[in-house]
Structure 1
Amino acid sequence: MTAQVETALRGPEAYALARRVVDAMQEASVWPTPLNFELWLHYVSDPEGPLGRELHRLLTGDAPFTDATAEMLAAEFLPRGRLSEEIRDVGAVLNRELAAVAEAIDNARKTQSAYGETLSSASARMQDAERPTDLTEIVSTLSTATRKVQRHTSALEKRLESSNREVVRLREHLEQVRRDAMTDALTNLANRKTFDEQLARLCEEAETEGKGLTLAVVDIDHFKRFNDTWGHQTGDQVLRYVASVLGRISRAPRVAARYGGEEFAVIFPGETPGTVEAALNAIREEIGSRSLRRRSTNDDLGAVTISVGFAERRPGETALGVLERADEALYASKRSGRNRVTNAEALAQAAA
């Protein structure tokens, strides 16, 4: 499921969205299977997106919408579907390689076994040989058998070399698939799933090792205005711009992710709140320092600003706890006029 849809399902209109999805499926006479529900979520949430347009085309045609159609759409448009398809393809190639290697090894084993029988037979015949021609015939038989063994051994070596190259290629391909599964396709930052896993892991490490951890949540100000005024393509341009600044400043061990929609998150393991606040203000100032232009028409889009909230993890605090406090600080930045960074701890002290 894309970050945009996940964000919609976590927002205040989540139940209304789910009802619209079910109504749309019922109107199209499509069974509400889990896969169909996910497809229709994308359709209802973003009817002008690639999946939405393709679903509309299929629904206005004469062909029935079947389970096979749903699988085809999932494989092409849903991230998990594409990932599963990639893994299945790699598995099929690997199975073919293993079968070919097994066959080559079996042929070599049979040849070696036959060669051993030939040697035993030749040894017995040599003891009984009475004429030089008998020895010549035995040597010729052994020479032929040896060449056959050499051919099969050479074939096996080539097969193993070829398979080794293919396995290396498959390993590299799977590594790329793994990276794709961890990355938001639009921004090339970590995706929501990777962020959740990393935050949970780093919170555990911070608790075990007694280290500090600070989490920041970043939101693009008035992003809906960009989309409504200039369209989704320009909105995507803005998202990529903000992500590029976040990604460059948030090098490892920091973790920058697209959290959902126009919202991002950055994890700062082992850094003090003062260092984090300085880094976040540097990000905010750099993002707001440029006046963007629409790529297709060169129209002036003006400056982009961000609002930020951050929270230092407290001892014993869960990943969800620190995330909620960072969110509260973000909304405080929004309420205070946007384009600013708010520390959750300072917010709590002010409220006390």
Structure 2
Amino acid sequence: MTGQVQTTLRSPEAFSLARRAVEEMEAAHVWPTPLNFELWVHYLGEPEGPLGQEMRRLLADGTVFSEGTSEMLAAEYLPRGRLSEEIRDAGAVLNRELSTVSEAIAKAQQSQAAYGQTLAGASAHLETASEPTALLGVVSKLTKATTQVQAENATLERRLESSTKEVARLREHLEQVRRDAMTDALTNLANRKAFDEELLRACDEADKKRQPMTLAVLDIDHFKRFNDTWGHQTGDQVLRYVASVIGRVSKAPRVAARYGGEEFAVIFPGESAAVVEAALNSIRVEIGARALRRRSTNDELGAVTISAGLAQRQPGESGADLLGRADEALYASKRAGRNKVTNGERLAEAA
């Protein structure tokens, strides 16, 4: 939660913001679920923030706020507070582990120092002792001190082993939290935040290696009409199906993401526009060849088609400019009747 929204919710304006959120949801025909309410509160509380801008774009496009759409927005724009909480909890556990280990080490050091003093004293006694009784006393002290040091060392080893396992568990947990924060909940593809970061990294890598890199944008044709006809749950089913095909064809080092409501994007590192065009047509044909059925009623939904556009990155080109050219190619596919793949490089040549 941003500071601006947090401040508003702790002031008398909170009631006004809550009422506006409910009114806006009703006007947009959005169910006031707890997740939608949280989204609208953030949207209205900070309309110029990243979530506010994305919400305005979706509303202007007439996007239906299905459960999947809301989950996508929440995963992308709302996880930071929860992620911070996870990190704080992990940090507290790690601090406890470090304190315990530090105490064990300090105790072991004290035992080692005491053992050293015992050895020094024993050495002095051995030099002067001549009676068997005196020698037995020295040996007894050494045996007792050695046993104590061994016990302290064993305790320290157990503590270190336990802490090592706990730190490994925390590392695995935080890595899972990080993956969840970067994954679209509905489709299990990368979310927009993860895509934006990966696009920057891929552009830098393409410049360093002086290799090609191509970006593709894909969109489900007439998805709003499909949602209006069959309902949001069936729409989510279609999104998952399309994402499964895109994800299967886009294995690493390719990166596939759900970029918007029914829009997807794929980064193709080291691949030319011609290679990517063939891959996109393979995805398009496979998706369109299957007649889907509604799970709840087994009604035939008919074929789902996608349109796609692609652009090959020019040396030094920014990710935003590359995405803009891929979007232009996508719109060209839409204008040409949909269910098509448009190579942006040919658009540039024709212009």
2:297 maps to which residue? Answer: 297
1:233–1:151: structure 2 CA closer, same or farther, 3 Å change rule? same
Distance 1:44 1:147 in 2: 78
Contact 1:183 1:191 (8 Å CA) reproduced: yes
Gapped runs of 5+ residues in structure 1?
2-21, 32-36, 57-73
Distance 2:196 2:253 in 1: 16
Contact 1:216 1:311 (8 Å CA) reproduced: yes
1:15 maps to which residue? Answer: none
2:140 is aligned with 1:156: no
Gapped runs of 5+ residues in structure 2?
2-8, 41-73
1:142 maps to which residue? Answer: 142
Q: 3-state DSSP class of the match of 2:259?
A: strand
Distance 1:202 1:44 in 2: 41
2:46 maps to which residue? Answer: none
What is the correspondence of 1:170-209 to structure 2 with a 5 Å cutoff? 170-209=170-209
Q: 3-state DSSP class of the match of 1:260?
A: coil
Q: 3-state DSSP class of the match of 2:251?
A: coil
Give, in angstroms, the shift of residue 202 of structure 1: 1.8
1:68 maps to which residue? Answer: none
1:214–1:54: structure 2 CA closer, same or farther, 3 Å change rule? closer
Residue type of the alignment partner of 1:156: L
Give, in angstroms, the shift of residue 53 of structure 1: 5.9
Per mean C-alpha deviation after superposition, the further-off stretch among 326-335 and 80-89 is 80-89
Contact 2:273 2:345 (8 Å CA) reproduced: no
For residues 303-348 of structure 1, the C-alpha deviation after alignment (integer angstroms, 9 at most, x for no partner) is: 2111111112223322111111111111121122211111222233
Give, in angstroms, the shift of residue 261 of structure 1: 1.1
1:44–1:177: structure 2 CA closer, same or farther, 3 Å change rule? farther
Residue type of the alignment partner of 1:51: L
Residue type of the alignment partner of 2:109: R
Instruction: Report sequence identity in percent.
Output: 67
What is the correspondence of 1:36-51 to structure 2 with a 5 Å cutoff? 47-51=31-35
What is the correspondence of 1:206-285 to structure 2 with a 5 Å cutoff? 206-285=206-285
Per mean C-alpha deviation after superposition, the further-off stretch among 154-163 and 87-96 is 87-96
Q: 3-state DSSP class of the match of 2:16?
A: coil
For residues 230-276 of structure 1, the C-alpha deviation after alignment (integer angstroms, 9 at most, x for no partner) is: 33322221111111100110112211111111100011222222211
1:121 maps to which residue? Answer: 121
Residue type of the alignment partner of 1:195: F
For residues 8-55 of structure 1, the C-alpha deviation after alignment (integer angstroms, 9 at most, x for no partner) is: xxxxxxxxxxxxxx9xx9582359xxxxx9x99999985444413689
Residue type of the alignment partner of 2:219: D
Q: 3-state DSSP class of the match of 1:164?
A: helix
Give, in angstroms, the shift of residue 284 of structure 1: 0.4
Q: 3-state DSSP class of the match of 1:261?
A: coil
1:254–1:266: structure 2 CA closer, same or farther, 3 Å change rule? same
Give, in angstroms, the shift of residue 174 of structure 1: 2.1
Distance 2:331 2:277 in 1: 16
Residue type of the alignment partner of 2:135: L
Contact 2:307 2:330 (8 Å CA) reproduced: yes
Distance 1:53 1:272 in 2: 44
Structure 2-normalised TM-score? 0.78
Give, in angstroms, the shift of residue 125 of structure 1: 2.6
2:36 is aligned with 1:52: yes
2:34 is aligned with 1:28: no
Distance 1:177 1:151 in 2: 39
Q: 3-state DSSP class of the match of 1:188?
A: coil
Distance 2:171 2:254 in 1: 27
Distance 1:292 1:167 in 2: 47
Distance 1:154 1:78 in 2: 46
Structure 1-normalised TM-score? 0.78
Give, in angstroms, the shift of residue 219 of structure 1: 0.5
Contact 2:191 2:259 (8 Å CA) reproduced: yes
Residue type of the alignment partner of 1:185: A
Contact 1:43 1:55 (8 Å CA) reproduced: no
For residues 135-192 of structure 1, the C-alpha deviation after alignment (integer angstroms, 9 at most, x for no partner) is: 2222212211111111101001111111111122222222222222222222111111
Which structure is higher in RCO with an 8 Å CA cutoff and minimum separation 6? 2
Contact 2:25 2:32 (8 Å CA) reproduced: no
